[in-house]
Amino acid sequence: MATQAKSHRLILISGRSGSGKSTVLNALEDAGFNCIDNLPPSLLPELVRWMSASTEQPNTAVCIDARMSPQGIAHLPEILASLKTDLVPEILYLDADETILLQRFSATRRKHPLTDQHRSLAEAIAHEAKLLAPVAALAQLKIDTSSLSLQELRDQIRSRVIRKPRGIALQFLSFGFKHGLPRDADLVFDVRCLPNPYWDKALRVHTGRDEPIQAFLQREPAVTEMFEDIRRFVDRWLRQYEANQRAYLTVAIGCTGGQHRSVYICEQLYGTFSAKYPSVQIRHRDMGHDEA
């Protein structure tokens, strides 16, 4: 029985209302997961016991958040710590910028579960973040859905969760500081000190994936030095993250607008590490949004 249970996967989905939990749950259900929405935290131990004793139970995904019991969510960390089983839950946490969450609720005209006559929508969104902070701290994978379309979110779930990779799932993420820090980054490197091709009007329209930008940056010794320093750091510590049973790692590279320098460095890192590790992805969060 115990050996069989190890083949099961239990994914706990949490995050603020409006961040995309239903989309994730639907994607997992389409992939054959048994899905449960809005499970009270107190019922989690019974679910785990049931799954551990079953030889036929499929992979399961449950959504646990602050909708049903805002106070009960505070006990989830101690509930998880008390589980005595070989079935180790994988925790996925979704979030988005508060202005984006406000826009989503305004567009759908849905009522936020924590709003009442004494708490506005903005206050409910902020309060929910505080309630879920202990859960967010435990998450092995965090996804910021602020700039993701529904299809892009489904693609991330398929590639990073459903197709569970061998070893650590490494993602290189480029972004622009002017658009805000990525919420789902584990490591952040700032490359704004590097020469900026944006100031050459002939190069401004290109991105770090285009040959003119690549040629410009490859001529700059500081760019090569920065790339090598980041490469050595990630290569050195990635083994330690793996040894610590880390399943996911997002390395974010930021420049001013997320168009040129960060994109170029991410592309170089992706090319280097994808040749050495079985699961490496790249995402350019802000590329094409506007001028750098």
pLDDT at 58: 73
Residues 10 and 153 in one domain: yes
Task: Indicate whether 35 belongs to any domain.
Answer: yes
Task: Give residue-wise pLDDT tens across range 75-93.
Answer: 889 998 888 777 888 999 9
What is residue 284's predicted lDDT score, i.e. its pLDDT?
96
155 and 173 fall within a common domain: no
Domain containing 27 equals 2-162
17 and 121 share one domain: yes
Q: Which of 140, 162, 184 is the last residue of a domain?
A: 162
> In the structure encoding, which two tokens stand for residue 5, read together?
């249970």
CA pair distance 186, 140, nearest whole angstrom: 10
pLDDT tens for each residue of 259-284: 999 999 999 999 999 998 888 999 99
CA distances from 117 to 44, 69, 102, 121, 184 (A): 32, 18, 18, 10, 33
Residue 106 located in a structural domain: yes
**Residue 291 falls within a domain, yes or no?**
no
Instruction: Round to whole Å and give the CA distance between 273 and 281.
Output: 9
Closest CA to 191 of 99, 110, 272, 259: 259
Same domain, 41 and 147: yes
How many domains is the chain partitioned into structurally? Answer: 2
Same domain, 34 and 153: yes
Cα–Cα distance for residue pair 284/41, rounded to 1 Å? 36
Rounded Cα distance between 169 and 258, Å, is: 23
Q: Does residue 44 lie within any of the structural domains?
A: yes
Contacts of 128 (CB under 8 A, 6+ apart): 16, 17, 66, 112, 114
136 and 16 housed in the same domain: yes
Identify the segments of the chain with pLDDT beneath 70. Answer: 1-7, 57, 164-165, 290-292
Helix (H) or strand (E) holding 11: strand 10-15
Please check whether residue 292 lies inside any domain of the structure: no
Clarify whether residues 102 and 205 are in a common domain.
no
Closest C-alpha among 215, 216, 193, 210 to residue 259: 210
pLDDT the model gives residue 215: 97
Is residue 245 packed enough to be buried (19+ CB in 10 Å), middle (13-18) or exposed (0-12)?
A: exposed
Considering the domain boundaries, does residue 101 fall inside one? yes
91 and 109, same domain (yes or no): yes
**Same structural domain, 278 and 146:** no
Q: Which of 136, 162, 188 is the last residue of a domain?
A: 162
